[in-house]
Structure formats: structure tokens, C-alpha cells
Amino acid sequence: MLKFSFDVRGVIRQCVLQNRGGRAAFGSVELSITHAAQDLFLVKSYSRIIIANGFEPATERASTILNLLGHLIEWPSIYDLEKDKYRQVLYRAYVSEVFVPYMDPTEEWYYKTYFDCGEFGFGLSAVSLQPGVDCPNNAIFMDGFYAGQDGTPVKISNVTCVFEKYAGNIMWRHTETGIPDETIREVRSDVSLVVRSVSTVGNYDYILDWEFKPSGSIKFEVGLTGLLEVKAVNYTQASQIKEDEYGTMVGANTIATHHDHFLTYHLDLDVDGAPNSFVKTNLITKPVAEEGVPRKSYWTVSSKTARTESEAQLHLGLEPCDLIVVNPNKQTKVGNNVGYRLIPGPLASTILFRDDYPQIRAAFTDNNLWVTPYNKSEKWAGGRYVDQSRGDDTLAVWAKRNRRIENEDIVLWYTLGFHHVPCQEDFPIMPTLSAGFELRPSNFFDRNPVLKTKSPKPVILSCKP
């Protein structure tokens, strides 16, 4: 039986993680929630979950932070079973900005180009989660606080939930079929730890999941749901529309406007320490030169380490490549640089003109990926005072300095995008549309890190004040 303690401003709660005859997938994770208003006001809550073979932060620092302007994951480290120690992966990760431009240029709509973090605040917009519905029955919940306008802490109950997720998936398996009269089968079920919160910014609800896998992968997923922004029209049939009305007729007299969602994540990786490099590995097709070989082509890799910011600004598309953050000072036993790979999600990039005013203010979406040297003041991709922004304090402006990023403490800025052409099923409330990306170990371990783990049995979490 494992214990979970929870401490919010002196209030201590004891929770017990009941292990019904099996073993938990996770061994030890620490979660701490900090709520900051522009670094001026802090309310800290602290919790500890003891679990196996999971992630643990460096002990004195937080692993999860809910900030006034967003939700942060801080200091996740992974326990390396073979090295018998915790190894750092990230310093901090969070959604830095969410750009939602609508595509109706008429006087009533043209200005609807929202910056959901900078103008509204993902933290301020965080909402309470409903047990058993927003999160599964085995979830535990944490309250959150933010600084009100007069500096007084404002509580949001059940703002974050943490749960083990077992969806019946396979972590790894193999059936060895090549041995006569013998079948060898090994299978491990896939159980991960999920930290979930929801921000409801006006009409939209963003479900933010951070999924930590025992294999070392961290998956970032966002689910879009809630209400579409609509306008009233005289039409009752789509066939009556002769000119561009900038959206889809989703009901009689109702048009839902075209728009985008771009979520820019701040990913401060510290892979086995702060000095890291960004390496882009291209896959290159080559002709077969040898005589008498039936093949005409093959592909191989060509890796290049980005030395300065401009070399790491990428517009991702169909070009096959691997995007890896390595620690050039640490190698595996066989000599590969330890690293973590970014596996992008669906690639929707901005298609507005670059000199369109909202796009100037949101120039941080001009690329899918940026890499910058860590700078304490560069937290919010859209700038510090976004609703007053003229676009002169964005990630795109900072990166013009073209600073050195090789073997430095670097930050990846990855933008996950959605072009949203509404359809009738999205109305009046859209079913959740999800997408995400993954940070996955790449030569970080000497071999499959979960080779010796066993499949866990069901675990029930209970919690009492």
C-alpha cells in the first residue's frame, strides 16, 4: 500500500493509493502546484504521490505548475531502472500562447483574432473538473489558486486531476514464432500517468493532457470542444448563399465562422542536464552505386546540429526528418549522444499573409518550430502585454538576434495547429477534436527501459480530507 500526501497552504490531506493485489504502474511522482501572477504573488501547494517506475522531479522543485497565464509542467525526470537514478528530461513545459484568428473580414468580425493565454489567461480560465466525468473514477483531484485583481488568492476546486490511464493498449510485445514446437510470448500492458486540466476561454473548452509513460515518452494532447462562434444570417438554406459568408451554415440562420487554433508550447528540455543541442536529421534518398545490385535506391540520414537560432527555425511539412534534442556532453555506452525526439502532431501552419496585422502580432506562428537559448524573460510567445501588442515583443522578434544555441540551455517552441472549417456536427456543441505531439527518448537509455517491468494490475486511488 502506497501513500499520497497533499498539502495546500497548510491543509494536509492524506490519500491512500490502494493496490489491490497487484503493483502500481508508477512508483513515485511528486507534484507541486504554484500559482503565480507575473511572478509577484505566489501561492504554493505541494503534493507527493509515491509510485513506481514513473517520473519524479528533482526533489525540491515542482513537477506541475499552474500559472496565472497557463498550466506548467516543471521538472519531470525519469527513473532509469538500469542506472538506478533519476534523470532529468525537462525543466519546464507549458502552453505559452494560443492564437485563434477568425476569418471573417467584415466590420463586426475582423478584430476577432484572439490570444487566449495573453488576453484571457489559461490559468484564469481554468475550470473545476467534475469527478467521474471529466476524469475517470480512479482520478485524484487538486485545487488551484490564482491571484485575484486585488491580489487575494482565488480558489478553483478540482482544477487538476491525476490518474493512471489504462486503455487496453500494449506497451510492448512479441510472439516468437520461429522455434519449432514452441511458442514464446511476452506482452506488457501500457499504463500511463495523466495530468489533466481544462481551460474554458469564452466559447471554447481546451482539455490539456500531459501523459507520462513508463517508457520515458511524454505525450502532450489538447482536446477542443465547446461552442462555435456563430453569426445570424437571413439564409435558411446553404444554396441561398451566393457570396462568401466566411463560414459554414450549421443551422437555419446560423453560420459558424472559419478559424484557426494555434497552440504554441514552451518546451524547455534539459536532457540529462541543461546544456543541450538541437539536431535535425534529414532522410536522404541515394542511388545504389554498386554494380550487380538489383536495388536502385535507398535512404540514409544526414544530421546537422543547429548552431544559431536561424538554423533551427523550421516550417515542417512533407520533408522526412527527425528532430532531436541531445546532450552533446553525455553518451550512451555505445557512444550515441543521449537525446529526446520531438514527434510533431498534425501540421497546420498559418496561411494568413505575413503582413496581416494579427499575423504580425502572432508572428510566433510563422514557423512550426523555433529554438532559442533560455532567457528568463522570454516566457510568453506573444509578449508580456499581449492585448496591447503591436507585434514588437514576440518570439519572432527575440529570435532575430540569432543567438547561439549549440550546447546551451535551449527552449523549443512548438506550435500545434488546427484549421477549423466548421461542420454541422460541431453545432451546437462540438464533440472533442483531439491532437497532440510526443517527446520520446532517442538514445537516452542504453536499451528498452521497460524491458524488465511487469504488467500492472488495477489500482484504485482514494482520497479523504
- Catalytic residue numbers, as ranges: 116, 204
Spatial distance between the Cα atoms of 8 and 75, rounded to a whole number of angstroms: 19
Candidates 126-134, 314-322, 376-384, 413-421: pick the segment binding Cu ion (CB under 5 A): 413-421
The four Cα atoms 49, 51, 57, 60 give a dihedral, to 10 degrees, of 50
- 136: amino acid identity, one letter: P
CA-based Rg of the chain, rounded to a whole angstrom?
24
Candidates 90-98, 193-201, 313-321, 416-424: pick the segment binding Cu ion (CB under 5 A): 416-424
Q: How far is the CB of 429 from Cu ion (least distance, A)?
A: 12
Size of interface with Cu ion, in residues (CB under 5 A): 1
In sequence order, the 6+-apart residues with CB closer than 8 A to the CB of 238 are 249
Placement of cell 440562420 in the chain: 253
By beta-carbon proximity to Cu ion, the closer residue of 101 and 373 is 101
Spatial distance between the Cα atoms of 47 and 32, rounded to a whole number of angstroms: 5
Q: How far is the CB of 19 from Cu ion (least distance, A)?
A: 41
In sequence order, the 6+-apart residues with CB closer than 8 A to the CB of 69 are 117, 118, 121, 122, 123, 124, 380
In sequence order, the 6+-apart residues with CB closer than 8 A to the CB of 270 are 88, 89, 90, 91, 276, 409
By beta-carbon proximity to Cu ion, the closer residue of 48 and 420 is 420
Spatial distance between the Cα atoms of 122 and 261, rounded to a whole number of angstroms: 14
Q: How far is the CB of 253 from Cu ion (least distance, A)?
A: 21
Candidates 117-125, 166-174, 313-321, 412-420: pick the segment binding Cu ion (CB under 5 A): 412-420
In sequence order, the 6+-apart residues with CB closer than 8 A to the CB of 81 are 53, 449, 450, 452, 453
By beta-carbon proximity to Cu ion, the closer residue of 71 and 420 is 420
Cα–Cα separations (whole angstroms), residue 156 to 35, 49, 213, 380:
11, 21, 28, 23
Residue facing Cu ion at closest CB distance: 420
Cell of 457: 494490475
Q: How far is the CB of 195 from Cu ion (least distance, A)?
A: 24
- Residue 415 contacts residue 363 (beta carbons within 8 Å): no
Total H helices, total E strands in the chain: 2, 27
By beta-carbon proximity to Cu ion, the closer residue of 379 and 420 is 420
- Residue 280 contacts residue 306 (beta carbons within 8 Å): yes
Q: How far is the CB of 420 from Cu ion (least distance, A)?
A: 3
Spatial distance between the Cα atoms of 441 and 198, rounded to a whole number of angstroms: 27
Q: How far is the CB of 418 from Cu ion (least distance, A)?
A: 6
**Does 258 participate in binding Cu ion (rule CB under 5 A)?**
no
By beta-carbon proximity to Cu ion, the closer residue of 246 and 374 is 246
By beta-carbon proximity to Cu ion, the closer residue of 197 and 257 is 257
**Does 280 participate in binding Cu ion (rule CB under 5 A)?**
no
By beta-carbon proximity to Cu ion, the closer residue of 373 and 422 is 422
By beta-carbon proximity to Cu ion, the closer residue of 12 and 421 is 421
- Residue 86 contacts residue 273 (beta carbons within 8 Å): no
Candidates 6-14, 41-49, 108-116, 414-422: pick the segment binding Cu ion (CB under 5 A): 414-422
Candidates 40-48, 144-152, 343-351, 415-423: pick the segment binding Cu ion (CB under 5 A): 415-423
- Residue 351 contacts residue 259 (beta carbons within 8 Å): no
Q: How far is the CB of 317 from Cu ion (least distance, A)?
A: 22
Q: How far is the CB of 223 from Cu ion (least distance, A)?
A: 12
Q: Going residue by residue from 166 to 185, which x/- string records binding to Cu ion, judged by CB under 5 A?
A: --------------------
Tell me the helix, strand and coil percentages in the chain, rounded to 5: 5, 55, 40
**Does 420 participate in binding Cu ion (rule CB under 5 A)?**
yes
Spatial distance between the Cα atoms of 57 and 76, rounded to a whole number of angstroms: 5
Residues that bind Cu ion (CB under 5 A): 420
